[in-house]
């Protein structure tokens, strides 16, 4: 006999993931707003459902059931003040770290605050009653679907994370009368592992790549573990200039992955192991494989590429050391394949105009050994990501908050850490003038070098794939920020920097640049 579920997709996702995480015990209280959820559970023999008219009693029943069975227990209630009566029991669960999942059904939350019957604000929960709370809204498009799927996974995982405890899901309903959906779609179940996990999943067959977002400086031990892993699985490390890794297995993929007319399917891995934080490379999604594992000590669900399957809440070094011992795919075939692909694209680079790109092409390998280079966000970082830096040169960019506002100040701060080391900054005019006051800081040393690419506008808005490029010159007025700061004045930056004690060199074309660099 087929099982009938509500056609409300957010509820379908939650039910599917409850089954995927093997959560079957439910204490349901009567009501109208939770009919779509409760009736769907009732129709599925997987679930073990108990009834309690009094929500206060239901929450305490869930505490007892969870404590005795050692399993998570789901609570379901209707709208209005029903959820308020869960508080005593949820407080008990919080202090005993019992895995109780309070699913409070609600009308659309856009109705909160408009004097609509039975609609209350559940957005703020007592700190010692709930360890995690999410809103599963009605689904209108694929972005809503993805958000709901990830939030639901996150909520269910929090039931047992770091000792466990009660979790809250506020579940919107449209009061659909349709119960025709069958079978239930299989959702993506995301699992979390820790160092204490008894069993970790095996690395699947196929190509394996480690993708590194922006990353703190790696220790020699971290690098050794990463490279031993790569050797054991014939793997590569996809990097950009914020990744902090420049070793043997580094593949600076940007030049390939930014191409629209190049087939780089052979470079794409089957499994991507994601480490580090936010990447400044907007093309990264094109190079990610079918499956993604995230490794981070914070253990959070960072579904950057919408393919996340496992989260490993542990140090990267421990992860790579553990799996390196189990690998036996020694070789560099994948690495050589990626290098060949990159060289084929690099050989096709045409003559570039005088620009940030041309400057990067010209001097990327001339940056002094053992120095550090900082890039402005977007255009500067992108341009230089297409070219390799010397192995001993460290590189960075403010891709955390990804704001235009502090590139020079960050460079200055870094330069103060080692007065015997050279620090270079590559920056566009909008970012430069935004933060130019930092050049007047009295702590500026003589180890600072700045290349200002003063093209009089935000070049990011001129790229063909930016929406503003469709508006032509009219974008200059209020979108691209053209014409400000002296409108490419030849004397403004010269006078300012020289008055502050800097040596100033200038070039307005390739020939002049060749003479001064």
Please give the average per-residue pLDDT across 192-216, as a whole number.
96
For residues 184 and 301, which has the higher predicted lDDT (pLDDT)?
A: 301
Q: Tell me, what's the pLDDT at 129? A: 97
Q: Output phi, psi for 451, to 5 deg.
A: -105, 110
Q: Are residues 135 and 231 in the same domain?
A: no
**83 belongs to a structural domain:** yes
| Residue 297 belongs to domain with CATH number | 3.40.50.1220
Sign of CA dihedral 241, 244, 248, 249: negative
Q: Tell me, what's the pLDDT at 269? A: 97
**164 belongs to a structural domain:** yes
**437 belongs to a structural domain:** yes
Q: Tell me, what's the pLDDT at 330? A: 84
Return the closest-CA partner of residue 356 out of 465, 257, 455, 462.
Answer: 455
**452 belongs to a structural domain:** yes
Cα–Cα distance for residue pair 89/105, rounded to 1 Å: 18
Cα–Cα distance for residue pair 174/240, rounded to 1 Å: 45
437-476 residue pLDDT tens: 999 999 999 999 999 999 999 999 998 889 999 999 999 9
Q: Is the pLDDT of residue 298 over 70?
A: yes
Residue-wise burial string across 108-146, b where 16 or more C-beta atoms lie within 10 A, e elsewhere: ebeeeeeeeeebbebeebeeebbbbbbbbbbbeeeeeee
Q: How confident is the model at residue 262 (pLDDT cuts 50, 70, 90)?
A: confident
- As for how many domains the chain has, the answer is 3
Q: Tell me, what's the pLDDT at 390? A: 97
Q: Are residues 161 and 247 in the same domain?
A: no
Q: Are residues 34 and 135 in the same domain?
A: yes
Domain boundary among 346, 375, 400: 346
**201 belongs to a structural domain:** no
Please give the average per-residue pLDDT across 373-383, as a whole number.
96
With a pLDDT cut of 70, the percent of the chain lying above it is 100
- What mean pLDDT value characterizes the chain? 95
**77 belongs to a structural domain:** yes
Please give the average per-residue pLDDT across 196-218, as a whole number.
96
Q: Are residues 227 and 167 in the same domain?
A: no
Q: Tell me, what's the pLDDT at 465? A: 87
Q: Is the pLDDT of residue 260 over 90?
A: no
Assess contact for 151 and 136: CB atoms under 8 A. yes
Q: Tell me, what's the pLDDT at 17? A: 98
Q: Report the Cα 104 to chain-centroid distance in Å.
A: 29
Phi-psi region of 450 (alpha: psi -120 to 50; beta: other; left: phi over 0): beta
Q: Are residues 60 and 147 in the same domain?
A: yes
28-47 residue pLDDT tens: 999 999 999 999 999 999 99
Q: Is the pLDDT of residue 76 over 90?
A: yes
Q: Are residues 377 and 437 in the same domain?
A: yes
Q: Are residues 127 and 266 in the same domain?
A: no
**203 belongs to a structural domain:** no
**190 belongs to a structural domain:** no
Q: Are residues 379 and 308 in the same domain?
A: no
Q: Tell me, what's the pLDDT at 139? A: 97
Residue-wise burial string across 361-393, b where 16 or more C-beta atoms lie within 10 A, e elsewhere: bbbbeebeeebbbbbbbbbbbbbbbbbbbeeeb
Domain boundary among 322, 346, 370: 346
| Residue 153 belongs to domain with CATH number | 3.40.50.970
Q: How confident is the model at residue 188 (pLDDT cuts 50, 70, 90)?
A: very high
Q: Tell me, what's the pLDDT at 181? A: 73
Strand order across the beta sheet in which 394-397 lies: 394-397, 372-375, 423-428, 448-453
Q: Is the pLDDT of residue 221 over 80?
A: yes
Q: Are residues 370 and 503 in the same domain?
A: yes
Q: Is the pLDDT of residue 3 over 80?
A: yes
Q: Tell me, what's the pLDDT at 1? A: 58
Q: Tell me, what's the pLDDT at 510? A: 96
Q: What is the pTM of this model?
A: 0.93
Q: Are residues 307 and 360 in the same domain?
A: no
DSSP single-letter state for residue 5: B
Assess contact for 445 and 416: CB atoms under 8 A. yes
Q: Tell me, what's the pLDDT at 180? A: 81
Domain boundary among 346, 374, 391: 346
Q: Is the pLDDT of residue 205 over 80?
A: yes
Q: Are residues 167 and 245 in the same domain?
A: no
Q: Tell me, what's the pLDDT at 46? A: 97
Please give the average per-residue pLDDT across 341-363, as a whole number.
95
Assess contact for 383 and 280: CB atoms under 8 A. no
Print the domain residue range for 126. 9-185
Cα–Cα distance for residue pair 74/166, rounded to 1 Å: 10
Q: Tell me, what's the pLDDT at 58? A: 98
Please give the average per-residue pLDDT across 248-267, as a whole number.
90
Q: Tell me, what's the pLDDT at 263? A: 81
Lowest-pLDDT range, 207-211, 258-262, 455-459?
258-262
Q: Are residues 392 and 324 in the same domain?
A: no
Q: Tell me, what's the pLDDT at 255? A: 93
Please give the average per-residue pLDDT across 129-139, as a whole number.
97
The contacts of residue 1 (CB under 8 Å, 6+ apart) are none
49-66 residue pLDDT tens: 999 999 999 999 999 999
């Amino acid at each position: 006999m087929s099982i009938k579920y509500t056609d409300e997709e957010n509820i379908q996702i939650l039910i599917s993931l409850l089954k995927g995480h093997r959560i079957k015990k439910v204490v349901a209280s009567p009501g109208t707003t939770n009919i779509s959820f409760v009736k769907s559970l009732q129709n599925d023999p997987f679930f073990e459902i108990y009834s309690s008219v009094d929500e206060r009693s239901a929450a305490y029943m869930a505490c007892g059931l969870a404590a005795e069975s050692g399993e998570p227990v789901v609570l379901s209630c209707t709208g209005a003040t029903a959820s308020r009566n869960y508080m005593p029991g949820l407080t008990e669960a919080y202090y005993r770290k019992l895995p109780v999942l309070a699913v409070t059904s609600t009308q659309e939350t856009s109705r909160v605050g408009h004097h609509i019957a039975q609609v209350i604000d559940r957005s703020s929960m007592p700190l010692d009653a709930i360890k995690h709370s999410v809103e599963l809204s009605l689904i209108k498009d694929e972005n809503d679907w993805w958000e709901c799927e990830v939030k639901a996974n996150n909520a269910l995982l929090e039931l047992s994370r770091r000792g466990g405890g009660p979790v809250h899901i506020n579940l919107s309903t449209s009061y659909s009368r349709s119960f025709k959906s069958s079978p239930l779609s299989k959702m993506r179940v995301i699992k979390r592992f820790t160092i204490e996990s008894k069993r970790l999943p095996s690395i699947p067959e196929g190509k394996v790549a480690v993708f590194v977002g922006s990353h703190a400086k790696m220790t020699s031990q971290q690098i050794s573990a990463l490279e031993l892993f790569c050797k054991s699985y014939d793997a590569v490390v996809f990097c950009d200039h914020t990744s902090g890794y420049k070793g043997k297995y580094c593949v600076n993929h940007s030049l390939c992955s930014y191409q629209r007319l190049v087939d780089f399917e052979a470079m794409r891995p089957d499994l991507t192991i994601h480490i580090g934080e936010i990447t400044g490379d907007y093309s990264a999604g094109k190079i990610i494989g079918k499956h993604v594992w995230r490794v981070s000590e914070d253990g959070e669900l960072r579904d950057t590429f919408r393919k996340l399957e496992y989260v490993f809440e542990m140090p990267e070094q421990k992860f790579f050391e553990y799996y390196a011992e189990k690998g036996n795919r020694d070789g560099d075939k994948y690495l050589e394949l990626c290098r060949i692909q990159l060289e084929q694209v690099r050989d096709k680079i045409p003559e570039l105009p005088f620009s940030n790109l041309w400057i990067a092409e010209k001097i990327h390998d001339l940056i002094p050994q053992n120095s550090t280079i900082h890039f402005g966000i977007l255009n500067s970082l992108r341009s230089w990501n297409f070219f390799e830096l010397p192995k001993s040169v460290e590189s960075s960019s403010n891709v955390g908050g990804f704001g235009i506002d502090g590139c020079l100040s960050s460079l200055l701060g870094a330069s103060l850490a080692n007065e015997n080391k050279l620090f270079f900054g590559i920056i566009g005019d909008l970012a430069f003038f935004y933060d130019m006051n930092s050049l007047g800081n009295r702590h500026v040393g003589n180890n600072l070098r700045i290349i200002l690419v003063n093209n009089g506008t935000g070049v990011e808005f001129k790229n063909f794939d930016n929406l503003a490029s469709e508006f032509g010159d009219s974008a200059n007025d209020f979108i691209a920020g053209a014409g400000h700061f002296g409108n490419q004045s030849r004397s403004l930056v010269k006078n300012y920097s020289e008055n502050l004690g800097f040596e100033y060199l200038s070039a307005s074309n390739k020939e002049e640049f060749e003479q001064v660099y």
